[in-house]
Amino acid sequence: MSAHNRGTELDLSWISKIQVNQPAVLRRAEQIQARRTVKKEWQAAWLLKAVTFIDLTTLSGDDTPSNIQRLCYKAKYPIREDLLKALNMHDKDITTAAVCVYPARVCDAVKALKAAGCSIPVASVATGFPAGQTHLKTRLEEIRLAVEDGATEIDVVINRSLVLTGQWEALYDEIRQFRKACGEAHLKTILATGELGSLTNVYKASMIAMMAGSDFIKTSTGKETVNATFPVAIVMLRAIRDFFWKTGNKVGFKPAGGIRSAKDSLAWLSLVKEELGDEWLKPELFRIGASTLLSDIERQIYHHVTGRYAAYHDLPMS
């Protein structure tokens, strides 16, 4: 991970007059989605790069130590060894960027990764995920407990009501407290953009989260009705760019929720490259939150190598 975002003092003049041009944003989103994707060996190379940005995630009520262990093994060995050898990439140490779990499963993940002999970070959701509607004291304690158990990244959720009612000072103060509770762990702030009401609110919430010291801003919990979308991403990426121009601080971006196909992942990489540049195309500044995306990427790489699609039993489950 890169150095922490230092944040800034709250400056509401940055956002007070902001109005997002929705038709222009929608046109840009259509342009990204309509573009033809890269093919053949170029596609394989970009897909392997996409693997290194994935926060491999399980956030289910039936998570157990054994399926966390399996997830961690898949994070260390995301693509079958023989496929990597065929691409001459077997010695590049390709792993996912992190493993993301509930706070109660952090110990299981840390233990499994240690047993596997790798240093992949463990990310934990916190602060009353996914709704963020528990008492502030409880939310802060959840962060501290996850950090104590070994999480080095904390994905917090904001209280959406503060955005919907324009309580920007209160939102800033809450995220500052989340930042402090994280200690040395990196703070990834989930905006739950599908519940913020407008693209203008998405921009304002993004800017407040970065002012308050978020190291990443993230689109969604994956549990909302609407999760990661390109219009929302464009607004967030441009907020990140504006914040960098004004402060010199680079903040990361993480789309999450509904990103399931290899083709989708290539579109997300392309969008980040075009809006923020190659500097952001590294795990320190870009992540994809996903649980099933890796399976489709591995299927596409299998097809590239063998010329046929894998049967269900050909690829190990994550």
- Does residue 312 sit within a domain? no
- Does residue 160 sit within a domain? yes
Q: What is the pLDDT of residue 213?
A: 98
- 205: tokens are 């919430």
Q: Which domain holds residue 227?
A: 12-306
Q: What is the pLDDT of residues 245-301, one digit of tens each?
A: 999 999 999 999 999 999 999 999 999 999 999 999 999 999 999 999 999 999 999
- Does residue 195 sit within a domain? yes
Q: Which residues are catalytic?
A: 218, 254
* Whole-angstrom distance, CA of residue 174 vs CA of residue 212: 9
Q: Residue 192's pLDDT band (boundaries 50, 70, 90)?
A: very high
- 38: tokens are 């890269």
- Does residue 119 sit within a domain? yes
- Does residue 19 sit within a domain? yes
Whole-model pTM above 0.85? yes
* Whole-angstrom distance, CA of residue 300 vs CA of residue 33: 19
Q: What is the pLDDT of residues 117-167, one digit of tens each?
A: 999 999 999 999 999 999 999 999 999 999 999 999 999 999 999 999 999
- 277: tokens are 């540049």
Residues 104-115: b if buried by 16+ CB within 10 A, e if exposed: ebbbbbbbbbee
Residues 258-271: b if buried by 16+ CB within 10 A, e if exposed: bbeebebbbbbbeb
* Whole-angstrom distance, CA of residue 260 vs CA of residue 276: 23
Q: What is the pLDDT of residues 34-60, one digit of tens each?
A: 877 778 889 999 999 999 999 999 999
For residue 83, give the nearest of 310, 317, 265 by alpha carbon. 310
- Does residue 291 sit within a domain? yes
What CATH number does residue 159 fall under?
3.20.20.70
> Could you give the number of structural domains in the chain?
1
